[in-house]
Chain A
Amino acid sequence: MSMSAAIEFRGVSVRYDHLPALENISVSIPSGSFWGIIGPNGSGKSTFVKTALGLLTPYEGDVRTLGRVPADLGSLRARIGYVPQYAQLDFSFPLQVIDVVAMGLYGEIGLFRRLTRSHRERAYRALDRVQMREFADRQISALSGGQRQRVLIARALVVDPSLLILDEPTAALDHGSAEGLYDWVNRLHEEDGMTIILVTHDIGVVSQYVDSIACLNRSLVAHGRPRDVLSGDSLEEMYGCGAMLFGHGDVPHMVVSAKDAGKK
């Protein structure tokens, strides 16, 4: 497996209770690239990133993240920033913004140790990067959707990751804030050379920023440069990803039959 791949999957299948969630995925995401992972609801996008992060174990196949098996990442974990789906968190939790951001350092600080002043300063700097410093003492329940999302991104950035994985970061945002967020993530990619993996349905907007798109529908329907994926010759390929341009819901489920179209 190549050393320069941030994430590499070889023949990876993942199952939940015997139900296939991902089937025979082989893909290599180079370090320093900006990838969009698209696909309809239930197509395995989150499963893909959770497998890469070691939260799920594949049923078969090999996964390498930053060159290692996810379970053995060890200190390399500090180079990964993960922004999970917003809806799975409870924002009525009694925490202030700065507490949430500092939580990103807990893995690095280690068991039994306490936060020091320098950890707090780093948390403030991460808030600067998302332009949220003035909200440091704000209750997380008192933030707007876009602000909450930025706090979660600051939590991921506080360790200075080289790989940033965002799962549906714009789900709770209106169109304008979503575009602002993409602009801003793109700057992390261009200025800091961060590898970015962005899971989204929002393919229309995202294709302006990403180097590559992987279209998932349990298996890898297509991947490559946005222009090639989105205007591929294969009608089925077109349908598999193109249908998602019109949003999600019932429509993409019609494209399940296209699941093998992308295999070379």
Chain B
Amino acid sequence: MDFLQHTFMQRALIEAVLVGGICAVIGVYVVLNGLSFIGAGISHSTFAGVGIGLLLGVEPVLTALLFAVLVALSIGAVSEKSRLRHDTAVGIFFAATMALGVLLIGLMKDRYVDVLGYLFGNILALTAADVWMSLVMAAITGGIILALYKEFLALSFDAEVASVMGLPVRKLHYLLLVLIALTVVLSVKSVGVVLVSALIVTPAAAAWQLTVNFRRMMLLSLFFGIASSVAGLLLSWYVDIPSGAGIVLTATVVFFVAWAVSPRRRSPSPPALR
């Protein structure tokens, strides 16, 4: 346990638990609602938000938060109103916002920017303020999910009947997209915009291989998410590999083990429900 002597490792461990846990919980709804691609779209778009912050000299996590929420709401509106298929819309957002991020960062020729850090994360380089910010976002996201647990479940299984019962289905759908955005931004510094969508989808998909009970799926996903994050972090400490990659690859190994022993061999992502 020698690694615990280092402040940066203590921070990294706290962050791994927060990020792994929240990603895994929101991931259950992402997987069951068939929103995996939308999750990837929101996370990649965050890169442009980071670029804006760096250019303006504002904390990039804050501009990323505003930008990601805006993109989440836009994706929601486009998939609701437009005749464009929503995967097409996400495909366009995805690349355009990445390009915007690259462009903005490219404008800052006089400064060194750790682009790789934002793309792939560096959980070992967090400041105390970073961890506090993650803690606040995790508390908000986790609190909302806990409070609206049954509403999100009804939305995911049968949005139409939920609407007939008088649940605010539209608002819940948008709220879910905003929570995905919050989760992504919370994870930006530790696993990066490219890898975070894997950390959202993979533990939930692994859990779905092993249980057919919603509560158990939630708890298993939470366990897989936290365990993969901590294990990946330790792996990167002992073997000296990039932490984001270590975390995501550990989660992927967990998924394949779950898939191999699954009684049902369910597909990693169900068809869209609506």
Which A residues lie at the B interface, using CB under 8 A? 17, 53-55, 73-74, 77-78, 80, 82, 84, 88-90, 92-96, 99-100, 103-104, 106-109, 111-112, 114-115, 139, 141, 155
B165 touches A90 (CB 8 A): no
- CB of A56 to closest CB in B, whole Å: 11
B158 is an interface residue with CB less than 8 A from chain A: yes
Contact B32 A93 (CB under 8 A): yes
* Residues of the B chain whose Cβ atoms lie less than 8 Å from the Cβ of A80: 164
**Using Cβ atoms and an 8 Å threshold, which residues of chain B touch A107?**
162, 164-167
Encoded as 1 (CB less than 8 Å from any A CB) or 0, chain B from 110 to 139 comes to 000000000000000000000000000000
A79 CA to B58 CA, complexed, in Å: 53
Given contacts A92-B266, A93-B32, A94-B212, contact A106 B148 (CB under 8 A): no
Q: Mark B200-220, 1 if CB is under 8 A from A, else 0.
A: 000000001001111011000
Q: Please indicate the chain A residues that have their CB under 8 angstroms from the CB of B32 in the complex.
A: 93-94
Residue of B nearest to A115 (CB): B150
Are the C-beta atoms of B273 and A90 separated by less than 8 Å?
A: yes
If A90-B270, A90-B273, A94-B213 touch, does A77 touch B164 (CB 8 Å cutoff)?
A: yes
Report yes or no: A114 in contact with B150, Cβ–Cβ below 8 A: yes
Bound-state CA distance A68–B19 (Å) is 47
Task: Report Cα–Cα, A94/B271, bound state, in Å.
Answer: 14
Q: Chain B's interface: helix, strand, loop or mixed, by majority?
A: helix
* B85 interface residue (CB < 8 Å to A): no
* Partner pick for A111 among B151, B164, B216, CB 8 A cutoff: B151
A90-B273, A93-B157, A95-B157 given as contacts; is B165 within 8 A of A104 (CB)? yes
> Across the interface, do B165 and A112 meet the contact criterion of CB distance under 8 Å?
no
Residue in B closest to A80 when the chains form the complex, CB atoms: B164
In contact, A53 and B214 (Cβ under 8 angstroms)? no
Q: CB-nearest residue of chain B relative to A141?
A: B212
Whether B147 is near chain A, meaning CB under 8 Å from some CB there, is: yes
Question: Which residues of A sit under 8 angstroms from B158, Cβ to Cβ?
Answer: 84, 89, 103
CB distance from A88 to the nearest CB of B (A): 7
Is B157 touching A106 in the complex (CB atoms < 8 A)? no
User: What 4 A-B pairs have minimum CB-CB distances, sorted nearest first?
Assistant: A107-B165, A107-B166, A77-B166, A139-B212
CB distance from A81 to the nearest CB of B (A): 9
Q: Closest approach, in angstroms, between the C-beta of B44 and any C-beta of chain A? A: 27
Once bound together, how far apart are the Cα atoms of A182 and B92, in whole Å? 49
B contact residues around A108 at 8 Å (CB): 165
> In the bound complex, what is the Cα–Cα distance between A139 and B154 (angstroms)?
17
Inside 8 A of B157's CB, which chain A residues have their CB? 89-90, 93, 95, 100, 103
Having A95-B157, A96-B213, A109-B150, one finds 6 other A-B pairs with CB under 8 Å, namely: A90-B271, A93-B157, A94-B212, A103-B158, A106-B167, A108-B165
CB distance A77 to B266 under 8 Å?
no
Interface flags, B18-45, vs A, CB<8A=1, else 0: 0000000000000010000000000000
Residues of chain A lying within 8 A (CB to CB) of residue B208? 94
Give 24 A-B contacts (CB < 8 Å), ordered by A residue. Answer: A54-B164, A55-B160, A55-B163, A73-B166, A77-B164, A80-B164, A82-B160, A84-B158, A89-B158, A90-B157, A93-B32, A93-B156, A93-B157, A94-B208, A94-B216, A95-B157, A95-B214, A99-B214, A103-B161, A106-B165, A107-B162, A107-B166, A111-B148, A114-B150
Distance between Cα atoms of A11 and B156 in the complex (Å): 35
CA distance A151 to B2 in the complex (A): 56
Interface string of B260-274 (1 = CB under 8 A from A): 000000100011010
Whether A106 touches B164, Cβ cut-off 8 Å, given contacts A92-B266, A94-B208, A94-B211, is: no
**Closest-CB distance, B118 to chain A (whole angstroms):** 35
